[in-house]
Structure 1
Amino acid sequence: MSRRDLLRTTGSALLVTASLSGCDLLATDPKGSAGDSRGSARTKDKEAPDLAAQVKAGKLPSLAERLPVLPGGRRISFDVEVASPALVPYWTDAMQLVRTYWAKVGVEMRVKAEDRALFYERKEANKPHATVWTGAGGREFDVMLDPRWFFPFSVESNFAIPWATWFTSNGESGLRPPATTRRQMELYRELRQTPDEGGRAELMRQILTMAREEFYVIGTILEEEGYGIMSDRMHNVPKSMPESHLYNTPGPTNPEQYYIEG
């Protein structure tokens, strides 16, 4: 069984080339509102109780029984690598919780905390089974400018690095990806050359639809809105602003026009 066949059988890209993100990345459309991609696990909400009832009634085997057995009778086993100290302090502890959830369905997952320099070295060499990182959160400027979680866009995608290298090198190096992934790449190149905002949004929706089916990334936690503390003497400061390294917060809000009074 090939790695991709195994991915298709289990329905989880986590086992081979995917990374876990810090946001429910597939729950948003290019304009930042909830879209039909929320069903990234391909099971409608109303169907889930039915499946659970069937398992309980013995009409459907449990997930542990349905998981493929590897040669030699071994069950699926994989590592999840976490940069340490983590970008978000609770990552390692959170993954220990996730480890116990996988164990309940017969999958052995090991949490591997490592120095960030080693994490990057291994990631760029395509060594990890799975990794943990933050996600874009679905903001339009993030999704279109840095679609790293929706197809192998760069080494920062954290998965399918040889495919990302093929994309960034225009096919000169790396590994040629399958047809669906290549189509995503073609659409993104077209998006970059499309002047019309509506046209760009439509192309991005197509990319996101394919990403949902390919299931490269599993979103785990959608972060709460953050906050900042501002003196009552500060003026001309927006009441809210996006928080993103791509937006270069707070740069586009023109801090040079903030002022202090009194």
Structure 2
Amino acid sequence: MADSTHSDGVTRRGVLKTGLAVAAAVVVRPEKALADGLQFQESPMMAERVAKGEAPPVFDRLPTRPLVADFASRNRSIGRYGGEIRTLIAKTRDLRYMSANGYTRLVGYDENLRLQPDLAESYEQKDNRIFTFRLRRGHRWSDGQPFTTEDFRYYWEDIARQKDLSPNGPQEVFVVDGKLPRFDILDDLTVRYEWDAPNPRFLPALALPRPLRLFAPSRYLRGFHVRYTDKEKLDRMAARAKVKGWATLHNRLDDDYDYSNPDAPTLNPWRLMTPPPASRMVFERNPFFHRVDPEGRQLPYIDRALVDVASPGLFPAKANAGEVDLQARGLSMNDVPVLKEGEAAQNYRTLLWPYARGSVYTLYPNLNTNDPVWRKLNRDVRYRRALSAAIDRRILNNALLFGLGVEGNNTVMKSSPLYADEFRTQFAGYDPEFANAMLDELGLTARDSNSIRLLPDGRVLEIVVEVDGESTDIVDALELITEFWRDVGVKLFMKPQDRGILRQRSYAGQTVMVASTGLDNAVPTPLMPPTELAPVRQEHYSWPKWGQWFETLGRSGEKPDDPAAEKLMALYDKWLKTTHEDMSAAIWKDMLALQAEQQFTIGTVAGELQPIVVNKRMRNMPEKAMFSWEPTSLLGVYRIDEFYYEA
């Protein structure tokens, strides 16, 4: 990447024109107008509070230079204020999806997956080593306190590098060649992070659904930090909260993502008003949100979000009954008939967006499993290729995706600039003869009375495939794969269980194989880190212990000792040192080619559609767009603060 400077490019003159005000907007008084004669406008909800003296006027709540949303190039219309968004979650922890959908980032992706300043007014980078961010003057947290470089200093010095709060120190992405960055505060609005070597992961990490953290609400959190508050007072507070000490209390109240603490200030479009747990959590507009529409109306348009907790199995029925206004999570293609059935009677429609996953149903042989016999087998590429060739992906596609899917490996989609046909097709054709030949070549020729092959130690070759019990579509796929593998003498035993338990078993090396979804980000650009392709994350079911080793800088887990995995690590390390996009793209393609050749994950079918239930009156919702966790942050990059209800 070349040196670059990025700004929202907005000046007040000629942009925040008053024009014809939407009926529900409230224009600020002339004495609160901008210096060049233009005016900001606020919602009736906030105007009432201003009139009662409960909040300052909009001019005093917005930054000097707010982010002015680009409506013209994105085919958005000027909206009207008011209304509520009703949505569903399965458990309180899923409130984090409000953070993902709200998508307020220092630097974030736009709808074309280009990095743009958001909370930052502008940023500069030099050789992927030096990153300088300038904040918006007058920007405030939801409690009205200033958002300044002091919040960055507090996070870096008093949280990330405070051993009681962060025993392992700053996150691994901050470490380059074993060194942390030099952190400098240039003034009250400008911070700089500087490394001696490139850190191309840094900017993309700020745009993730759960972004790399750089700041915290310092004025709020100081009241719970031993550096700023009397230790005895903190001990009494911790005792009342029934936690071990001040550090535990601080970490509990420091809620930058999960929405577990309604008192914690936020920069997101809506702030939580209801202490969880509750059957319904209420969010209200953030009075100090930093974005405005092209005519000066402070966003968001919609006043409240009502988040109800319900059983996942009831999501389609509740949507069918018209009990949601915006719902994507928890719905799948299997629910489309039920959702379509309810459209005529209820006030919603069902959009179908392409899901940016590498494969809907993916098998992960655990190369780090504790059982030595299974470990040796899982690490043999012939075994992995045999299992892949034994799957009839055409039947899976027709039975589960109505024939609309793309059969093949777990890899990037055609819409990615990194795509190549061979990444999808290599070793992904249905060929039971090849599968049998490979298994025979491995010496797995002995069989039991049911024609199931035997392991070298005499055990039946019965693969226990563990799966999240709530992923009913993957369970359906496994039932079909069970029949395919039986035809080549391999027995599959399905073990559904809680997702959290499944992950812990994986981290501990107790799984032999896991079935899950494929690449979270199947539409990457060269500037996005290829972290899903290399053993650098313990959450990857094929190499959890190698990922632990990388994430903990060698303190736990196991160092990769497989030649192909070592090659992936070398390529990933090479990507980390890149400064130019063409070099990054070449490395990505080498890694994708190696993934297809080695079958580290066994993909089946991609290209499923994500049903999204949306109120018929809701506007500025794209008719067709890509849906994913990463990089779109669910609906985040489409800016739901710009959605509104037509009269």
- The total of aligned residue pairs comes to 242
Could you say which residue in structure 1 is the equivalent of 2:603?
219
Q: 1:35 aligns with which of 421, 437, 447?
A: 421
Corresponding residue SS for 2:427? coil
Partners of 1:229 and 1:73 lie apart in 2 by 52
Q: Is the 8 A contact 1:68 1:76 kept in 2?
A: no
Equivalent residue for 1:251? 636
Counterpart Cα distance in 1 of 2:498 and 2:526:
27
Greater CA drift, 64-73 or 175-184:
64-73
Distance 1:107 1:5, change over 3 A: closer
Seen in structure 2, the aligned counterparts of structure 1 residues 10 and 71 have a Cα distance that, compared at 3 Å, is: same
Of 202, 206, 209, 2:590 maps to: 206
Structure 1 Cα separation of the partners of residues 497 and 602 of structure 2: 21
The structure-2 alpha-carbon separation of the partners of 1:143 and 1:82, relative to structure 1 and needing over 3 Å to count, comes to: farther
TM-score (norm 1): 0.75
- RMSD, matched Cα: 3.6
Superposed CA deviations along residues 180-213 of structure 1, whole A, max 9, x for unmatched, are: 3223223223324434333222111111112122
Cα deviation, residue 32, structure 1: 5.8
Match of 1:158 among 526, 535, 541: 541
On the 8 A contact 2:381/2:598 being kept in 1, the answer is no
Per the alignment, residue 116 of structure 1 pairs with: 499
Match of 2:488 among 105, 108, 129: 105
Cα 1:10–1:141 change in 2 (3 A) is same
Picking from 456, 466, 480, the partner of 1:71 is: 456
The offset of 1:127, in angstroms, is 1.0
In 1, the alpha carbon distance for the partners of 2:526 and 2:645 equals 32
Deviation string for 1:71-117 (max 9, x for gaps)? 35555222100121x2x322223212211211111112211112223
Secondary structure class of the residue paired with 2:625 = coil
In structure 2, relative to structure 1, the CA distance for the partners of 1:126 and 1:5 (3 Å cut) is closer
1:140 aligns with 2:524: yes
Deviation at 1:217, TM superposition (A): 0.4
Return closer, same or farther for 1:257/1:35 CA change in 2, 3 Å cut-off.
same
Change (3 A) 1:242 1:142: farther
From 370, 381, 397, the equivalent of 1:8 is 381
Residue 81 to residue 229, structure 1, CA distance change in 2 (3 Å): closer
Which structure would you say has the larger RCO, counting Cα contacts within 8 Å and 6 or more residues apart?
1
Change (3 A) 1:77 1:12: farther
**Which residues of structure 1 form unaligned runs of 5+?**
16-21
Contact 2:465–2:493 (Cα < 8 Å) also in 1: yes
> Could you tell me how far apart the structure 2 residues matched to 1:120 and 1:13 are?
26
Question: 2:536 & 2:610 partners in 1: Cα distance?
Answer: 28
- Cα drift, residue 39 of structure 1: 2.9
How far is 1:135 from its partner? 1.8
Cα separation, 2, equivalents of 1:77 and 1:254: 47
Q: Hey, what does 1:191 align to over in structure 2?
A: 575
1:125, CA displacement in angstroms?
0.5
Normalized per residue, the structure richer in strand is 2
AA of the residue aligned to 2:502: F
SS at match of 1:218: coil
For 2:461 and 2:601, locate their aligned partners in 1 and report how far apart those are by CA, in whole Å: 18
Conserved in 2, the CA contact under 8 Å of 1:234 and 1:260? yes
SS at match of 2:574: helix
Q: 2:276 maps to which residue?
A: none
Q: Equivalent residue for 2:513?
A: 130
Look up the equivalent residue of 1:68 and give its one-letter code: G
Q: Identity of paired residues, percent?
A: 24
- Shift in CA distance, 234/245, structure 1 to aligned 2, threshold 3 Å: same
Q: TM-score, normalised by structure 2?
A: 0.33
1:154 deviates by: 0.9
> What per-residue deviation string (whole Å, max 9, x for no partner) do you get for residues 39-59 of structure 1?
33177x9xx6xx95xx9xxxx
Name which of structure 1's ranges 177-186 and 116-125 shifts more when overlaid on structure 2: 177-186
Distance 2:621 2:567 in 1: 43
- Structure 2 letter corresponding to 1:130: M
Match of 1:238 among 622, 630, 633: 622
Q: Are the aligned partners of 1:82 and 1:119 in contact in 2 as well (CA < 8 Å)?
A: yes
Aligned to 1:19: none
- Return the match for 2:559 from 154, 169, 176: 176
3-state SS in 1 of match to 2:547: helix
Q: Please give the per-residue CA displacement for 1:162-191, whole angstroms capped at 9, x wherever unaligned.
A: 211222233343222133322322322332
Mapped to 1, the partners of 2:385 and 2:563 lie a distance apart of 19
Q: Does the 8 A contact of 2:465 with 2:514 survive in 1?
A: yes
- State the AA in 2 paired with 1:168: E
Does the 8 Å contact 2:384/2:602 carry over to 1?
no
| Residues 64 and 203 of structure 1: CA distance in aligned 2, closer, same or farther (over 3 Å) | closer
1:13–1:163 distance in 2 versus 1, CA, 3 Å: farther
CA pair 80-168 structure 1, distance change in 2 beyond 3 A = same
Distance of aligned partners of 1:95 and 1:252 in 2 relative to their CA distance in 1, 3 Å threshold: same
User: Counterpart in 1 of 2:272?
Assistant: none
